[in-house]
Structures are given as structure tokens and as C-alpha cells.
């Protein structure tokens, strides 16, 4: 309850203490923002030509001296935005932020680079860098308060990063994996419906990439399965999981996970049978015998070799003897699906 106010107090205290210990004056330069300029060194990193200023940024970045590199790169971008050197300056600025672990600033800088200079020669590399930044946040890295203080992880923000990468490079090498990561981020948020949609989108959009499509379809099935386990009486989710795994088995019969998918289908049908049995018993208790027969028959269809099915057959015989209408015949028992078990 008191964690947030305490944390904010410590942050403010740290900023105040840092301000008192700052060894240099705070200077504002148009296009560059507020910077600390070392005493006696003002202007020594500045040049009068874009190329020379970029050379300063490159040299400082390679030393490394990220403070000077950032100032020099920002100056190129601000003073000579239409020059051939402006895109590389933004790239260096983003690299500096990455090196200092200011990943949000790096991502935003790369965004500006791709927005302003969409024909930049290293477009794919910049997308790759944005993707790697999003991966770090997916792994649990904290976003920064005010862009400075590590404060909280956020899968919602991480999803938006991946979506931006996909939007800017829908046919890039990283786009299919980024779409998978959207699903993974939703799973970490415990938003299984959106995770399933994200995985299904990857399977449909990148169907021509067998590895990605198979992985996406399998993960979609798992997401539906997890939902079905949480939705005790929602048979539609279990049916969706069964349908997805059935498609997976049909499309990728040589995949090593086919046996596991088959096992999951059996378990899902078993759970559907249990749910149908509960409904049948409810209808029988309410003296609605025809409805009970329908659901007892459903039990036999879903799990013909289970203890549930044996009980359903017994109740069907009893209800028919009492004059209930005969439901459509269930198929004869089939060999037990691997992984399915009897009622406990």
C-alpha cells in the first residue's frame, strides 16, 4: 500500500542529490536539449560541417565516450537534418542509448530514424535492434520512470514495441518471430485469448514459413487449452483447442509434437465428457429426461472408453426404460486415445 509513495520519495531524493553533485553547468541547446557541459570545454566537440561533426560522434562512440558522442550526433541531426549524415547520426545516438541501457530512448531514436529516413541503407539492422530491445523487455527488463529510473516491467508496452517492429517491416526477417513474441507477451500478462489470437495470426500470416507456422499453430492450441482449463463449463474453448491441434496434426504430421498434440486432444475430449456428464446429471435431476439423454450420449461420443461413458450408458438404459425419447446413437467404442484415462 505504501510502496509507491516510498519509491517516489526515494526517486525524488536521488534526483535532488544528483543535481547537487553534478560537476558541470546545465546548458540548453536548441535541437539538443538540456546537457551538462564540462567547465572549460564548451564548444570543443562542435564542428562547422555536418561530416566533421559526425566524425566527432563516431570517434567518441568508438572510444567510448557516450556523452560527447550523443551531443555530437544530436547536433548533426538538429543542425543538418537534410544532410546525408543525419541518418547515421541518429543511428549513433540510438547505439549510445543502447550501450547505456536506456533502451526506451534507443527504441524511440530508432523510430525517429526510420520515420524520417525510410530509405536508410541499414533499415533492416535498425529493425533488428528494435526487436532485440523488445526482447529484453519481454525477458523482464524494467521500463524507466521519466526515461531515467528503472521502475516497472510492462508486457503491454512490450507488445506495442513488437507491433511497431512488425508494422515497419511486415516482410522483414524479424516480423514472424516478433508476431510470436506478441503472443508470448500476452501470455505473460495472463491474457490467453489475445495470446491465442496473436499465435493464430502468425500461423495464418506466415503460413509459407513452415517452422514459424507450425510453432504458431501449436502455441495457439496450447493457449486455447489453458483457457479451457480455466473455463470449466465453456465447452466452446475446448472445442477450439481440439480443432487447432487437429489442424496442427493434419498440416504437420511429421512434427515431433504430434504425439503430444494427440494426447492433449484426448485429455480435452475427456474433460468435455466430464462437463457433458455434469450437465446430463443436472437435467436428470430436474426430470428433463430427453435433455439428459442428449448429454449422456455426448459423453459417450467424447470419451467412449472412459468410466464416464460407462456411467452414461447405464443412465441412458434407465431413462429409456422410463420412457424417455431415444437420442441419436453414439458410435461404438474406439481404441482409447493415448493419454485419456478413466474417471477418478
Please check the confidence at residue 75 and state whether its pLDDT lies above 80. yes
Please check the confidence at residue 183 and state whether its pLDDT lies above 90. yes
How high is the pLDDT of residue 211?
Answer: 94
Helix boundaries (H) for 192-234 = 192-205, 210-230
pLDDT digits (tens, 9 = 90+) for 107-131: 999 999 999 999 999 999 999 999 9
Per-residue confidence band for 43, with pLDDT thresholds at 50, 70 and 90: low
How high is the pLDDT of residue 14?
Answer: 52
How high is the pLDDT of residue 1?
Answer: 44
Cα–chain center distance at 35:
36
pLDDT digits (tens, 9 = 90+) for 138-151: 999 988 877 667 77
The angle at the Cα of 92, spanning 91 to 97, to the nearest 5 degrees, equals: 100
Please check the confidence at residue 29 and state whether its pLDDT lies above 70. no
Find the length of the chain: 344
Please check the confidence at residue 218 and state whether its pLDDT lies above 80. yes
Question: Under a CB-based contact definition with an 8 Å cutoff, are residues 251 and 217 in contact?
Answer: yes
d(CA 238, CA 75): 58
Mean pLDDT of 261-290: 91
Residue 192's nearest CA partner among 168, 152, 219 is 219
Amino acid at each position: 500500500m505504501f510502496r509507491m509513495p516510498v519509491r517516489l520519495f526515494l526517486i525524488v531524493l536521488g534526483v535532488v542529490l544528483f543535481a547537487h553533485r553534478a560537476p558541470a553547468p546545465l546548458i540548453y541547446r536548441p535541437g539538443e536539449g538540456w546537457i551538462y557541459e564540462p567547465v572549460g570545454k564548451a564548444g570543443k566537440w562542435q564542428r562547422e560541417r555536418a561530416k566533421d561533426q559526425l566524425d566527432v560522434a563516431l570517434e567518441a562512440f568508438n572510444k567510448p565516450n557516450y556523452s560527447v558522442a550523443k551531443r555530437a550526433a544530436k547536433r548533426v541531426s538538429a543542425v543538418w537534418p537534410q544532410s546525408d549524415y543525419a541518418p547515421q547520426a541518429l543511428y549513433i545516438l540510438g547505439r549510445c542509448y543502447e550501450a547505456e541501457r536506456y533502451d526506451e530512448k534507443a527504441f524511440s531514436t530508432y523510430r525517429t530514424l526510420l520515420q524520417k529516413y525510410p530509405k536508410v541503407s541499414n533499415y533492416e539492422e535498425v529493425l533488428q535492434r528494435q526487436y532485440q530491445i523488445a526482447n529484453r523487455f519481454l525477458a523482464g527488463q524494467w521500463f524507466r520512470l521519466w526515461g531515467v529510473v528503472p521502475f516497472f516491467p510492462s508486457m503491454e508496452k512490450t507488445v506495442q514495441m513488437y507491433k511497431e517492429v512488425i508494422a515497419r517491416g511486415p516482410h522483414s526477417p524479424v516480423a514472424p518471430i516478433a508476431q510470436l513474441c506478441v503472443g508470448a507477451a500476452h501470455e505473460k500478462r495472463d491474457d490467453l485469448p489475445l495470446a491465442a489470437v496473436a499465435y493464430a495470426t502468425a500461423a495464418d500470416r506466415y503460413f509459407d514459413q513452415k517452422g514459424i507456422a507450425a510453432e504458431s499453430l501449436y502455441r495457439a492450441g496450447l493457449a486455447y487449452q489453458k483457457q479451457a482449463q480455466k473455463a470449466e463449463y465453456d465447452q466452446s474453448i475446448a472445442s477450439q483447442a481440439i480443432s487447432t491441434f487437429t489442424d496442427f496434426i493434419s498440416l504437420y504430421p511429421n512434427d515431433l509434437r504430434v504425439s503430444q498434440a494427440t494426447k492433449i486432444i484426448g485429455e480435452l475430449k475427456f474433460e468435455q465428457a466430464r462437463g457433458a456428464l455434469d450437465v446430463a446429471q443436472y437435467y436428470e435431476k430436474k426430470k428433463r429426461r430427453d435433455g439428459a439423454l442428449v448429454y449422456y450420449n455426448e459423453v459417450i461420443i467424447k470419451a467412449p472408453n472412459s468410466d464416464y461413458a460407462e456411467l452414461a450408458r447405464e443412465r441412458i438404459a434407465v431413462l429409456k426404460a422410463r420412457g424417455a425419447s431415444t437420442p441419436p446413437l453414439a458410435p461404438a467404442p474406439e481404441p482409447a486415445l493415448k493419454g485419456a484415462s478413466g474417471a477418478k
